[in-house]
A and B are shown apart, each in its own frame.
Chain A
Amino acid sequence: MSVWRTPGGGRIDRTQRRKFRFDGRDYQGVAGDTLASALLANGVHLVGRSFKYHRPRGLLSAGAEEPNGLVTVRRDAARVTPNLRATQVELYEGLDALSQNRWPSLQFDVGRINDWLSPLFPAGFYYKTFMWPKGAWKSLYEPVIRRAAGLGVAPTEPDPDRYAQCYAHCDVLVAGGGAAGLAAALAAADEGARVILCDEQNEFGGALLSDPQATINGAGGQAWVDQALAELSANPRVTLLARTTAFGYFPHNLLGLNERLTDHLSAPPAGRARERLWQVRARSVVLATGAIERPVVFPGNDRPGILLAGAARTFLNRYGVRVGTRAVLVTAGDDAYQAALDLHAAGVSIAAVADLRPQAEGALPTAARRAGIEVLTSATVLGTLGGLRVNEIVLGELDGTGGVRRKRTVRCDAVLMSGGYTPSVHLFSQSRGKLAWNEPLQAFLPDRSAERERSVGACRGIYDLAGVIDDGFAAGAEAASGRSGRRRSVSAHSAGGDGSAFLGAVPLAGASSDKSFVDWQHDVTVKDLLLATREGFRSIEHVKRFTTTGMATDQGKTSNLNALSIVAGALEVPIPQVGLTSFRMPYTPTTFGSFAGASRGDLFDPVRKTPMHDWAATEGAVFEDVGLWKRARYFPRGGEGMHEAVARECLAVRSACGIFDASTLGKIEVVGADAAEFLNRLYVNNWSNLAVGRCRYGILCREDGFVYDDGVVARLAPDRFHVTTTTGGAARVLAMMEDYRQTEWPELAVWLASTTEQWAVIAVQGPKSRDLLQGLVEDIDIGAAALPHMSVAHGRICGVPGMVMRVSFSGELGFEVNVPADYGLGVWRAIHARGEKDITPYGTETMHVLRAEKGYIIVGQDTDGTVTPDDAGLAWAIGKSKADFVGKRSLQRASMHAPMRKQLVGLKSRDGRTILEEGAQVAEIPGQKPPMRLIGHVSSSYYSACLAHPIALALVAGGRARMGTTLYVPMPGGDIEVEVVPPVFYDPSGARIHA
């Protein structure tokens, strides 16, 4: 054991040695250590370089609030976690940690030059200086500054670990497992409540873990903790979550908890989740989040070896580590004397106590004096000295008139400081609870709750142990039962709890040439804050953004109140008037993996496949994503590229027969006596005169008159319609229909059901399609007379009950065979086998070309939410006799008929070979320089193998009046001349679909 490690006591096991590595050097700690305590046990105080000035930094705290000791922990090339607080990293055998923000090494860091040059780097420096030239910020200044002033480096490889998530519910969620939280959980469990108790540390107990003097019911505090835990873990309605940070408080009592499952293990079992994200919905919440000790702001207060008094006490009592051999305490309250007393008892020489108060006559100061410790009152700190570790502190005695009476330099290797406590109101504030300033405690405390929530113990300014436990019992019982009255009580005692506080900079701090730090992590000093007020910033929200105080990853846990106080002092207003910045989740940084959970890789999104997907995959189809669906795009053969395959597939459909999987098409069954009336009110078409067994192309507008969706609608029975929608529109069309059905026309007897996945849809298209299907269908006459274009018939297909729709999106004679989905693959195979050499499977790309040749639009490609049916050339579909339908009134507006509206037209490249780019703009005047006058854009463009020239659809202002004229598509290589033609390129008479 080193000189720093005590011989006994604490929550560590000295017999279990743990080897670890820091910045490439090997060290040894023991089981129960954090990385921080293990480093201190090896005499290592220097753990990082500061953000901006690269000053050497040591550990300031022993907990979540740590601003300096940020490290990267590395398990392998992919398992690299930056920005961890060394005070929270549990030591395991073989731990490999690196310091951050230094180059080339912690001991010698060239960035330190920033500290000497610091007059050049006041607050706002970056904003003011790197303004010119304009482009340089992104390319030059920002990358350099980011490298110089950075945190850890993100891992470059994908995170191989597994992250779990779960939802949970409880009656009472207790955040924080210190004395107050344990008491609240006990009392809530007494009421029979379902309780979840979580704590960010590896053990429950909170401050009691570091407080050997505490007594509860006559025994040690730890005994009470053990007893409470035994009781809670025996209760099946209580869930205890250690190593679990309540990081976010969301509306309606939903809390986010991050449970760390394996980070403390030397060799995490393969496959075990690293973390689990809990989303807990609690009927009531008890916040027992404790308080954080505040540093004292004095010149040179950031040297390694200078740390919070409570932290020194925690390192000693919990981890068995002395933070130095000769310490000075700087305090403004009685509590911190206990740290000096504890260290003194452990053999650390206490060189002096500098008490900022004029008097220190409480029990603890008295005990300190009795122990032979020199106590200086009316003291201030004028500076510190030391390179990589503090070695002297300069103290002064205030003369009461703004000067210093005596100045003393005290040799030391540790300075303990305490400005009192800041209640941890982060979660309370996140819950939108209102805080109120408490003048005696000099703290913001929870005032008005926004949620069913209670704060207990130190986080609401109760610091004495008996009071804390009492508060926990009362709140736990109340949270569980909704009424006051409790069954438990204790007698308890611990040192301190006087609640005295000191805010802001010590007197005469400004007289020193050294910096007095307020925000350690962002290197914000008193001078920076004063500069902000001189620059005219009045609100703390603005001061914060100008100086970046409180904006580091620690969210100002140790700095916010000191900053507020300094700003308030400079502005000569009370602290509450300066305001308080909002606390945001997460309380401490939380891994992305935890938020992602299982939603990565194959599980990121559902992948929807049709019943025939595997067949297409076997045939070598290339798939494309359409929403969540995988759709076969084309079926390349023997080394074909997309264009060759699509050309072949197109020609096959036009000359023989193609087979296409249309299963993803949205389908909605509209059923009920008022089904036709319902569709009349929604769609632009007239449905009353659609006979049973017939189909019609339907257009659905929004109330604003613009095309929302389209599809073929089949009337299966007087009271039953089979409505198809676009693949992407299926869900939103059904939602829109339900909206009108439920909220506007509840009187109609009509119901809606999605049948998209009920049916496998096999499109068989081409001049040979009828011949091919003959013999596969029973009880259905698919002859031209019996089943004309746009009709539907029920019967058996390949022995399977289904329906055949004679519809065509290709412009050829075509059928869409609908069979129940489980039969889709079998029927597909049967049709394909029957077709032999005459049938060609084709994909969505070919489908697109075929429909474009016919001028059929794709909603969302040839329309964009500003296209009316008439703009798309579909005015013929509108039921003229109908008094009303969704969108009709908007279509009556004069502007909807303006002649210069963009209208759908065809475009042909004059050179007969250039394929236009989809999205390209269209101009009337050639040779324009930007800004050009543009009159439309290309919405669809393909090479038509069947026509042997490129085709395009475009929306062009006044397009229909421009037939035969020449327009220009400006491209980087110059204008492309195009001729405006009707959008139907192929078989304009429609003879082929009626074959």
Chain B
Amino acid sequence: MLLISCPYCGDRPEIEFTYGGQAHLVRPADPSALDDQQWAEYLYMRTNTKGVHAERWRHARGCGRFFNALRDTTTDRFAATYKIGAARPDPAASEPTPGTAR
């Protein structure tokens, strides 16, 4: 069970959260202006990142807020969590340090 830092409530167990898929997808302002291919791109095409992935989570059983997170899909390590609307942070700048290797 992951420990996820809600930008509002702080560290909470994964059971309080729901996963919301890839982050930073913006619904087109006028979908009708898109051709079928462009609409399909928006609707279905997702990255399948190995490594740091920007994704949405919702603190569904807590404050109810959606937020974004940078998570390394190979290690489950969260580099950052940030509020909806905020720019994607630089993961290198805020990477937490795990236990020292011994």
Contact A449 B27 (CB under 8 A): no
Q: Chain A contact residues: over half helix, strand or loop, or mixed?
A: mixed
Contact of A281 with B3 in the complex, beta carbons under 8 Å: yes
A744/B76 in contact, CB under 8 A: no
- A554 contacts the other chain (Cβ, under 8 Å)? no
Q: Complex formed: what's the CA distance from A893 to B40 in Å?
A: 10
Given A449-B100, A450-B98, A704-B43, CB of A883 within 8 Å of CB of B32: yes
Report the stretch among A250-258, A722-730, A789-797 that lies at the interface.
Answer: A250-258
Tell me the nearest residue of chain A to B31, going by C-beta. Answer: A889
A448 adjacent to B101 (CB under 8 Å): yes
Interface size on B, residues (CB 8 A): 31
Does B85 sit within 8 A of A, measured CB to CB? yes
CB pair B99–A742 under 8 Å, yes or no, is no
Name the distance in Å between A634's Cβ and chain B's nearest Cβ.
Answer: 35
Nearest CB in chain B to that of A895: its residue: B36
Known: A254-B3, A739-B20. A452 touches B98 (CB 8 A): yes
Return B30 CB to nearest CB of chain A, in Å. Answer: 7
Shortest beta-carbon distance, B70 to chain A, in Å? Answer: 15
B62 sits at the interface (CB 8 A): no
CB distance from A895 to the nearest CB of B (A): 9
Q: Is the CB of A884 within 8 A of B30?
A: yes
Given A454-B99, A739-B20, check contact A889 B1 (CB 8 Å).
no
Which residues 491-513 of A have a CB within 8 angstroms of B? Answer: none
A738 touching B66, Cβ below 8 Å: yes
Residue interface mask B28-42, A partner, CB < 8 A = 1: 001110101001000
Q: Per-residue 0/1 for A858-902: is the Cβ within 8 Å of any B Cβ (1 yes, 0 no)?
A: 000000000000000000000000011000111011000000000
A900 to B84, CA, bound (A): 42
Instruction: For B39, give the chain A residue with the smallest CB separation.
Output: A889
The reply to whether the CB of B102 lies closer than 8 angstroms to some CB of chain A is yes
Instruction: Report yes or no: A447 in contact with B43, Cβ–Cβ below 8 A.
Output: no
**B73 on interface, CB distance cutoff 8 Å:** no
Docked complex Cα distance between A744 and B20 (Å): 13
Known: A735-B18, A746-B85. A449 touches B102 (CB 8 A): yes
CA distance A449 to B3 in the complex (A): 17
**In the complex, are the beta carbons of A739 and B39 less than 8 A apart?**
no
Compute how far the CA of A744 lies from the CA of B2 in the bound complex, rounded to whole angstroms. Answer: 27
Which of A451, A453, A475, A735 lies in contact with B60, CB distance below 8 A?
A735
> Cβ of B98 and Cβ of A451 under 8 Å apart?
yes
Task: Scan B41-68; emit 1 where CB is below 8 A from any A CB, else 0.
Answer: 0010000000000001010100011100
**Is B89 part of the contact surface with A, judged by Cβ < 8 Å?**
no
CA distance A283 to B21 in the complex (A): 28
Known: A739-B66, A893-B36. A449 touches B30 (CB 8 A): no
Give Cα A890–Cα B39 distance, bound, in whole angstroms.
8
Is A636 close to B, CB under 8 A? no
Q: Are A446 and B31 in contact (CB-based, < 8 A)?
A: no
Checking A252, A743, A892 against B66 with a beta-carbon cut-off of 8 angstroms, the contacting residue is: A743
Q: Please measure, in the bound complex, the distance between the C-alpha atom of A884 and the C-alpha atom of B65, giving whole angstroms.
A: 25
- On chain B, the residues within 8 Å of A254 by CB distance are 1, 3
Contact with B along A519-545 (1 / 0, CB 8 A): 000000000000000000000000000
Of B18, B27, B43, B99, chain A has the most CB atoms within 10 Å of the CB of B99
Given contacts A735-B18, A884-B32, A893-B36, contact A451 B3 (CB under 8 A): no
Within 67-83 of B, Cβ neighbours of A (below 8 Å) are at 75-77
Q: Tell me the smallest distance from the CB of A215 to a CB of chain B, in Å.
A: 27
- From B13, B32, B64, A889 is in contact (CB under 8 Å) with B32
B32 in contact with A446 (CB, 8 Å): no
Asked whether, in the complex, the Cβ of A703 is within 8 Å of the Cβ of B65, the reply is no
- In Å, the complex CA distance between A285 and B66 comes to 31
Q: Kindly supply a per-residue 1/0 record for chain B positions 7-22, scoring 1 wherever the CB is within 8 Å of any chain A CB and 0 otherwise.
A: 0000001000010100
Task: Report the minimum CB–CB distance from A250 to chain B (whole Å).
Answer: 6
Min CB gap B71→A, angstroms: 11
Q: Nearest-CB distance from A798 to chain B (Å)?
A: 35
A446 touches B102 (CB 8 A): yes
A890 close to B102 (CB less than 8 A): no
Contact of A735 among B13, B36, B43, B58 (CB under 8 A): B58
Cα distance A281–B12 when bound, in Å? 11
Which residue in A735, A742, A883, A890 is a CB contact (below 8 Å) of B65? Answer: A742
Count A-side interface residues using an 8 Å CB cutoff: 40
Asked if A251 and B2 make an inter-chain contact with CB atoms under 8 angstroms apart, the answer reads yes
- The complex places the Cα of A752 from the Cα of B36 at a distance, in Å, of 33
User: Which of chain B's residues has its CB closest to A455's CB?
Assistant: B102
The answer to whether A454 and B66 touch across the interface, beta carbons within 8 angstroms, is no
In the complex, chain A residues whose CB is within 8 Å of the CB of B64: 738
Asked whether, in the complex, the Cβ of B102 is within 8 Å of the Cβ of A454, the reply is: yes
Q: Looking at the complex, which one of A449, A744, A893 makes contact with B99 (CB distance below 8 Å)?
A: A449
B1 touches A251 (CB 8 A): yes
Cα distance, A455 to B58, chains bound together (Å): 35
Write out, one digit per residue, whether chain A residues 697-729 have a CB within 8 A of any chain B CB (1) or not (0): 000000110000000000000000000000000
Instruction: Enumerate chain A residues within 8 angstroms of B99, measured Cβ to Cβ.
Output: 284-285, 449, 451-454, 479
| A789 CB to nearest chain B CB (Å) | 34
| A455 CA / B100 CA spacing, docked (Å) | 10
A460 interface residue per 8 A CB criterion: yes
- Assess whether B101 is in contact with A888, with CB atoms less than 8 Å apart: no
- What's the nearest-Cβ distance from chain A to residue B3, in Å? 4
Tell me the minimal C-beta distance from A681 to chain B in angstroms.
Answer: 10
> Which one of B100, B101, B102 has the greatest number of beta carbons of chain A within 10 Å?
B102
Give residues of chain A (459-500) contacting chain B, Cβ–Cβ below 8 Å: 460, 475, 478-479
Q: CB-CB < 8 A to A455: which residues of B?
A: 102
Complex interface: chain A residues within 8 A of B27 (CB): 703, 744
A279 near B: Cβ within 8 Å?
Answer: yes
Cα A743 to Cα B55 with chains together (Å) = 13
Bound-complex Cα distance A230 to B39 (A): 69
Q: Cβ of B3 and Cβ of A279 under 8 Å apart?
A: no
* Chain A residues positioned under 8 Å from B101 (CB to CB): 446-449
Residue A613 lies at the interface, judged by CB distance under 8 Å to chain B: no
A250-B1 contact in complex given A735-B18, A889-B39, C-beta closer than 8 Å: yes
A448 nearest in chain B by CB position: B101
A74 at the interface (CB under 8 A from B): no
* Contact partners of B30 in chain A: CB under 8 A: 883-884
Minimal beta-carbon separation of B26 from chain A (angstroms): 8
CB within 8 Å for A742 and B84 given contacts A450-B75, A889-B39: yes
A584 contacts chain B at the CB level, 8 A cutoff = no
Smallest distance from the beta carbon of A290 to chain B beta carbons, Å?
16
**Could you tell me the distance in whole angstroms from the C-beta of B27 to the nearest C-beta in chain A?**
5
Identify B32's interface contact among A251, A453, A892, CB under 8 A. A892
Q: How far apart sit A484 and B36, CA to CA, in the bound complex (Å)?
A: 61
Contact B84 A743 (CB under 8 A): yes
Which B residue's beta carbon lies closest to that of A742?
A: B66
Q: Give the complex CA separation of A500 and B88 in angstroms.
A: 52
Interface contact B1-A703, CB-CB below 8 Å: no
Contact across chains for A884 and B102 when beta carbons are under 8 A apart: no
Listed residue (B2, B32, B64, B98) with the most chain A CB atoms within 10 angstroms of its CB: B98
The smallest beta-carbon distance between A958 and chain B, in angstroms, is: 23
In whole angstroms, how far apart are the Cα atoms of A281 and B30 in the complex?
Answer: 47
Please name all residues of chain A whose beta carbon is closer than 8 Å to the beta carbon of B13 when the two chains form the complex: 281
Q: Which residues of B contact A (CB under 8 A)?
A: 1-3, 13, 18, 20, 26-27, 30-32, 34, 36, 39, 43, 56, 58, 60, 64-66, 75-77, 84-85, 98-102
What would be 15 A-B contacts, judged by CB atoms less than 8 Å apart?
A: A252-B3, A284-B99, A446-B101, A448-B101, A449-B100, A450-B77, A450-B98, A475-B102, A703-B27, A738-B64, A739-B58, A742-B84, A743-B66, A888-B32, A892-B32
Question: What is the interface of chain A, defined by CB distance below 8 A to chain B?
Answer: 250-254, 279, 281, 284-285, 432, 446-455, 460, 475, 478-479, 703-704, 735, 738-739, 742-744, 746, 883-884, 888-890, 892-893
A251-B1, A446-B101, A893-B36 known; 12 other A-B pairs, CB under 8 Å?
A: A252-B76, A285-B99, A432-B75, A450-B75, A450-B77, A452-B99, A479-B99, A735-B18, A742-B65, A742-B66, A889-B39, A890-B39
List the 9 shortest-distance A-B pairs measured between CB atoms, nearest first: A889-B31, A252-B3, A452-B99, A449-B99, A453-B99, A448-B101, A742-B66, A251-B76, A744-B27
